[in-house]
Structure 1
Amino acid sequence: MDNDFKSLDNNRLESNILFIGQDSCPPNYFFRGNNVRSNYVLHYILDGQGTFSSANRPAVSLKQGDVFLLPKDVPCFYQADGEHPWTYLWIGFAGAKVKTMLDGSKLSSQRYLRQVQDSQFSHYLKLLYTTLRHGDSLANDILTEALTYQMFYQLVTEFPGKSSQTGGKAQKHLQLAQNYLEQNYRHSTCTVASLCDHLGLSRSYLYTIFKKGLTISPQDYLTRLRMEEARQRLRASTEPVRQIAGEVGYHDEFTFSKAFKRYTGFSPSAYRQTRY
C-alpha cells in the first residue's frame, strides 16, 4: 500500500490541524487500528471505490469524488473495494470550533457527501491539503488558517445541515452565544452569567437552545472549549500546567487540574506523558 503521512506540530494559529496523509489501498484493505478516533478525520476519495459505515448508520458504497468523515468518538469502518480499491487523502482536525463548523453541514449528520469534485468545498479542501504539505513558515501558517475557514465556509454554504437551513431566532441566538464563548473562553471572566448579560437572555433559555441545537449545556460547551485547547497545549508544548491553566481561563492550577481530569480521565501531567 502506498502511504504518505505527516504529523503537524500544531503551532499554527488556531486551525488545530493534527495530521494529513494519503493512501493508495490494496484490494479489500481495511484499517485495523482503533476505529474510534479522538479527533475528526476528513477523507476525500481521489480514485477507486470502497465501503464506509459508522455507528447507527447503514453502510454505503463511495467512489472517486466522494467525501466521508470519521467523527470524534464514533466507531467507524471503511474498506477498499476488491476490484477497484480507493486512493484517498485525509486531514485530521481537533477542537470544539471544528465540531461547530461541521455541525452546520450535512456532513455532520450524514457523515459522507457524494460527488463533490466540482464544488468550491472540494477545491479548498485539496488546496488546504497541498498547503499543509509545504514547510512550516508564518506565511504558510496564515494561508493554512485562511484556507481552513474558507473550506468550512464552503462546506456549510454548499452542503448545509437542516439547522442551517431552518434558521430562526433561536438559531441566531445560539450562534451569537457560541461566538461569544469561542472569542472569550480564554478569559476567567467568561462565564455563563457573563454570556447571559452580554446577550440579554435568561440562563434557562440559553440552556434550552444549547441542548436542542448542540445536545450539551452552555457550561459544558464552555468547558469543552477550554479543555480542548488545554489538550492541544499539553500535547504541543512544555509550558507549565499553571501557565496553561491561566491561558484557558482558570484562576488556579488546582481547579483546572480537577476539571481536566473530569473531562479526560487523566491529570494534566499524566496526559502530557501519554501524548505520544
Structure 2
Amino acid sequence: MKKEYRDLQSNSIENGIIFYGLECCEPNYIFKGNNIRENYVIHYIRNGCGTFSSAGRPLVKLKQGDCFILPKGVPCFYQADEKNPWEYSWIGLSGIRTGEIFAASSISEKNYLCQIQDTEFKNSLSMLYESLHLTHNMKNSLLTESLLYKMFHDLLDEFPAEVTRKTNSRTQFRLAVEYMRDNYDTGCSILDVCRGLSVSRSYLYSLFKKFAGSSPQKFLTEIRMEEAEHLLKDTDRSIQNIADSIGYGDSFTFSKAFRKSRGCSPTDFRRMRN
C-alpha cells in the first residue's frame, strides 16, 4: 500500500499546515485512528472511490475528482471501495481562521465537494500540495504560504456558502421564495427547498410563519395556483399540459389541489372565466 506522511511545524496563528500525506488504499481499508480530529484535514481523491460520512449526515459514495474534509471535532467515517479502492492525498490545517473560512464555503454544508478537477480551487490545492515537497527554506515557505491563501481564496470564490450564519432571517426568507419561484415548475418539494438553502424544515417553517403568515407548503402551492390561473385564462393549453408546467406529475393531482385551493375544478374555472 503506497503511503506518504510528514509532520510540519506551523508558526501561523491564523492559518497553517501541520501535516500532509498520500495513501493508495487496500480494498475496504478504513482509517483506524482517532476519527474526531483536533484540526481540519482536506482530502482530494486522485483515483478510485470509497464511502464517506460525517456525524448526522448520510453515507455517500465519492470518487476520483471529489474532495472531502474532516472537520475539527466532528466524527467522520471513510472507507475505500472493495473493487476500486481510492488513492487520496491530504493536508492537515490549523489556525483560528481555518474553521471560519470553511464555514463560508459550501463544502461545510456536506463536508465534501464533487468533481472539482477542472476548477481553480483544485489547481491551487494541487500546487499547494506539491510545494510542501520542496526543500525547506524561506523562499519556499513564502511560496507555500501564498498558495495556502490562494487555495482558500479559490474555494470561497468558486464554492461560496449559499446561506451563512451571518445571513439574517429576512434574507433567508427572500432566498427561499426565490428558490420556489425558480423551481416550482420542476416539481420541487419543501425538502428540496431546505436542501437548496441548507436549512432545516422546522426553521424554514418558522421563517414563513413569521414573514408570510403561512406554511412553506401553502406558499409553494399558491405560487403554482397563480400560474395555473394565468394559463387557464390566457391560453388554450390542456389541463395535463398545465399540470406538467407547474410541477404536478398528473392532471388528477393538479385538479385536486386546484379544487382545494380555488373551490372549483380547473375546467370549471376556465369555463367561468371565458
TM superposition score normalised by structure 1 = 0.58
Q: Residue 25 of structure 1 corresponds to which residue in structure 2?
A: 25
State the alpha-carbon separation in 2 of the partners of residues 53 and 13 from structure 1: 29
Q: Residue 133 of structure 2 corresponds to which residue in structure 1?
A: 133
State the alpha-carbon separation in 2 of the partners of residues 150 and 13 from structure 1: 17
List per-residue Cα deviations over 1:127-149 (Å, max 9, x = no partner): 00000111211111111111111
Q: Residue 40 of structure 2 corresponds to which residue in structure 1?
A: 40
Deviation, structure 1 residue 110: 1.2
Q: Residue 143 of structure 1 corresponds to which residue in structure 2?
A: 143
Deviation, structure 1 residue 11: 3.9
What amino acid maps onto 1:158 in structure 2? E
What amino acid maps onto 1:139 in structure 2? K
Flag structure 2 segments of 5+ consecutive residues without an equivalent: 172-274
Q: Residue 115 of structure 2 corresponds to which residue in structure 1?
A: 115
State the alpha-carbon separation in 2 of the partners of residues 9 and 28 from structure 1: 32
Aligned length: 171
Q: Secondary structure at the match of 1:20?
A: strand
State the alpha-carbon separation in 2 of the partners of residues 147 and 13 from structure 1: 17
Deviation, structure 1 residue 164: 5.8
Q: Secondary structure at the match of 2:147?
A: helix
Moved over 3 A (4+): 11-15, 163-168
- Contact 1:13–1:145 (Cα < 8 Å) also in 2: no
Deviation, structure 1 residue 2: 1.0
Q: Residue 80 of structure 1 corresponds to which residue in structure 2?
A: 80
Q: Residue 90 of structure 2 corresponds to which residue in structure 1?
A: 90
Q: Residue 153 of structure 2 corresponds to which residue in structure 1?
A: 153
Alignment of 1:1-276 (within 5 A): 1-11=1-11, 15-163=15-163
Which one has more relative contact order, counting CA pairs under 8 Å at least 6 apart?
A: 1
What amino acid maps onto 1:91 in structure 2? I
Q: Secondary structure at the match of 1:162?
A: coil
State the alpha-carbon separation in 1 of the partners of residues 24 and 125 from structure 2: 18
- RMSD of aligned alpha carbons: 2.3
- Contact 1:13–1:142 (Cα < 8 Å) also in 2: no
Q: Secondary structure at the match of 1:57?
A: coil
Q: Secondary structure at the match of 2:163?
A: helix
What amino acid maps onto 1:62 in structure 2? L
Flag structure 1 segments of 5+ consecutive residues without an equivalent: 172-276
Q: Residue 180 of structure 1 corresponds to which residue in structure 2?
A: none
**Which is higher, the Rg of structure 1 or of structure 2?**
2
Deviation, structure 1 residue 167: 6.2
